[in-house]
Amino acid sequence: MSQFGDTITGLVGESPSDRISAIKAAVVENLRAADSRMKIETTDHFNHSFVPDLVLSWPGQTENRRVFLRTSYRVWDLLRDVDLLAGDKPILMPLVPMREQDDEGDYALRERTKESRVLVTNPYGLEAFTDRRDTAPVVALFTHAILQGGRGVITTSRAREISGQVAAGFSGARNASYQATSAALTVNETNLDPRRASQMNRLLHALWIGSGASPSEFPGVTDGTATLDEDALRFVLEMPDLEDDAFWRRLGQNLTTERLCQLADFPANANLQRLLKNCARRLTAKACRVVPTPQNPINNLPQWSISSSTLTLHSPRYRIHFAPRSVMELPANTSDRAAISVSELKRRAGVAGVAVSEVRLSNGDATLTYASSERPDVAQDDFLSVVASLLSNGFVASVTARIGIGSRSVRCSFETLTGAGNGSARYFLAELATVAAPLLGPILRDELIAIRSATYSGAAENESAQNSEKAEGGAL
């Protein structure tokens, strides 16, 4: 007997209202075991024709899915439900075991549910998925997709069969096995709506290309890329350590800072470090913020994480947060900030080798701006100290720092410890980390070298490999 079956059996003798509440609670527990990230809302109805028993939703998703519990598995009754409710693409969930029968009614139900994107399954089928994911974690991702966009009729035996094919396809894609990968693609396209099938297929495509196999030999039809959605990206990053730089380089070729930040929070695990090692040099951001932290004497190497929906580089004494689209995405900096003197600005700019085109000085009441159209770096001008002395209790409020030898620049505010540009200006992470960050925080020379290495991430040594992959059509 399954866990759900044991719970239902134990309800004998209770009042009807208590039994209904207990049944719903058992179903909710069953659903949470299948997908812990899901939010489940219960209604006051039970076995109603058109009012759902449960409503499922997911963080970051605007759509939801309605669940209608049914006390029996009668094919013709379910066909009537499909005709009545198909517009909402719900889940019809009989509370009894479902048996596949090779007859006219069963065939009609399978075809109509696939066509209308209605899912008919029960708690016993979901338990079959849950049981398999312990040995094949990819099944958890597939179960998530089934609950969001599953279709057709999935009995317990069918769930076991599908789980095996999904697990074999995942392993097959990592090893460029055509047959196993092709079977998994068929499972996705048969049992999921087009959106979720595409998401799962992109994961297989990414793993296929990551294995080093030719994209042209992939058994499915793709758009030439393997951009992963949030759930698939999280799944890949949470896999056991993959010490394969070629895989992570291919996986990161179409990755964006926005997509990484959709993970909201993700720890500095080994796979994330490998991914960023191979793609940080091409990622961009709108702004950065430097947040002082207690010095970490254990690990002196910069580490990447995703925190507060920002891509974050942890150095021994600072966190550098990178916002993909807006300064407003950066987390607040609550640390105490000391006023920056002109001499300290000169020291920081000198250590970082950064040229400053404009300095704005303030004493809280008045401001002075110092710039020159002739000299590319005014931070080292002796006259700047003279100008600063004109302001009683003056300090550096902000500077505009040059990026490279062109006309691009980034404005650094010492009030908010933020580096950003005007309008739609975006910067490579390396530009913000090695131009803005060392001005905003007194980063040591050795620390800056390590930050530069983490954000440029071996650009020169990877460039030739990247070009050859593009020539072969292997872009992810």
pLDDT digits (tens, 9 = 90+) for 311-347: 999 988 899 999 999 999 999 887 777 789 999 999 9
Which residue has better confidence, 363 or 470? Answer: 363
Residue 421 placed within a domain: no
Q: Is the pLDDT of residue 465 over 70?
A: no
Residue 171 placed within a domain: yes
What average pLDDT does the structure give for the chain?
87
Residue 165 placed within a domain: yes
Residue 206 placed within a domain: no
**DSSP string of 349-414, one letter each residue:** HHHHT--EEEEEEE-SS-EEEEE-SS-S--TT-HHHHHHHHTSTT-EEEEEEEE-TTSS-EEEEET
Q: What is the biggest distance separating any 2 CA atoms in the chain, rounded to whole angstroms?
A: 94
Residue 443 placed within a domain: no
Domain region containing 164: 3-200
Query: Between the CA of residue 190 and those of 162, 183, 184, 186, what are the distances in Å?
Result: 10, 11, 10, 6
**Bridge partners, residue 359, by sequence:** 370, 399
Q: How confident is the model at residue 297 (pLDDT cuts 50, 70, 90)?
A: low
Q: Is the pLDDT of residue 369 over 50?
A: yes
Q: Is the pLDDT of residue 473 over 60?
A: no
Q: Is the pLDDT of residue 471 over 50?
A: no
Residue 309 placed within a domain: no
Tell me, what's the pLDDT at 386?
84
Which letter, b or e, does each residue of 169-178 get, where b requires 16 or more Cβ atoms within 10 Å of its Cβ? bbbbbbebbe
Residue 389 placed within a domain: no
Q: Is 37 exposed, middle or buried (0-12, 13-18, 19+ CB in 10 A)?
A: exposed
Tell me, what's the pLDDT at 168?
96
Element (H, E) at 81: helix 75-85
Number of separate domains in the chain: 1
Residue 71 placed within a domain: yes
Q: Is the pLDDT of residue 188 over 90?
A: yes
Q: Is the pLDDT of residue 5 over 90?
A: no
